Amino acid sequence: MNTSATVGAGPGLEVDRLGKRYGELRALDGMSFLVRPGELFGFVGGNGAGKTTTMRIVLGVLAADSGQVRWDGAPLDFAGRRRIGYMPEERGLYPKMKVGEQLTYLARLHGFGPKAARREVEQWLERLGVAERRDDEVQKLSLGNQQRVQLAAALVYRPMLLVLDEPFSGLDPVAVDVLSEVLREQCARGVPVLFSSHQLDLVERLCDRVGIVRQGRMVACGTVSELQRAGSARLVVDAPSADPGWAERIPGVRIVSTVDGQTVLELAEGVDDQVVLRAALRTGPVRGFGRHQPSLTETYRHIVTEEASA
Ligand X SMILES: Nc1ncnc2c1ncn2[C@@H]1O[C@H](COP(=O)(O)OP(=O)(O)OP(=O)(O)O)[C@@H](O)[C@H]1O
Residues making contact with ligand X (CB under 6 A): 22, 25, 27, 45, 47-53
Sheet of strand 13-22: strand arrangement: 25-35, 13-22, 66-71, 74-75
User: Residue 217 in contact with residue 30, Cβ under 8 Å?
Assistant: yes
DSSP state of 198: S
User: Residue 152 in contact with residue 120, Cβ under 8 Å?
Assistant: no
Nearest to 216, CA basis, from 65, 32, 48, 28? 28
Q: Which is nearer to ligand X, 18 or 265 (CB)?
A: 18
- Please report how close the Cβ of residue 45 comes to ligand X at its closest, in angstroms: 5
The residues facing 252 across adjacent strands are none
Nearest to 157, CA basis, from 115, 193, 109? 109
Phi, psi dihedrals of residue 184, rounded to the nearest 5°: -60, -40
Q: Which is nearer to ligand X, 145 or 197 (CB)?
A: 197
- Please report how close the Cβ of residue 77 comes to ligand X at its closest, in angstroms: 23
Count Cα neighbours of 221 within 13 Å in the Cβ-side half-sphere.
19
- Please report how close the Cβ of residue 20 comes to ligand X at its closest, in angstroms: 8
Q: Residues for the chain: how many in total? A: 310
- Please report how close the Cβ of residue 149 comes to ligand X at its closest, in angstroms: 21
Handedness of CA 111, 115, 119, 122 (dihedral sign): positive
Q: Which is nearer to ligand X, 52 or 102 (CB)?
A: 52
d(CA 215, CA 9): 27
Q: Which is nearer to ligand X, 109 or 308 (CB)?
A: 308
- Please report how close the Cβ of residue 239 comes to ligand X at its closest, in angstroms: 42
Q: Which is nearer to ligand X, 51 or 302 (CB)?
A: 51
d(CA 62, CA 239): 57
Q: Which is nearer to ligand X, 44 or 130 (CB)?
A: 44
Q: Which is nearer to ligand X, 50 or 231 (CB)?
A: 50
- Please report how close the Cβ of residue 43 comes to ligand X at its closest, in angstroms: 8
- Please report how close the Cβ of residue 15 comes to ligand X at its closest, in angstroms: 13
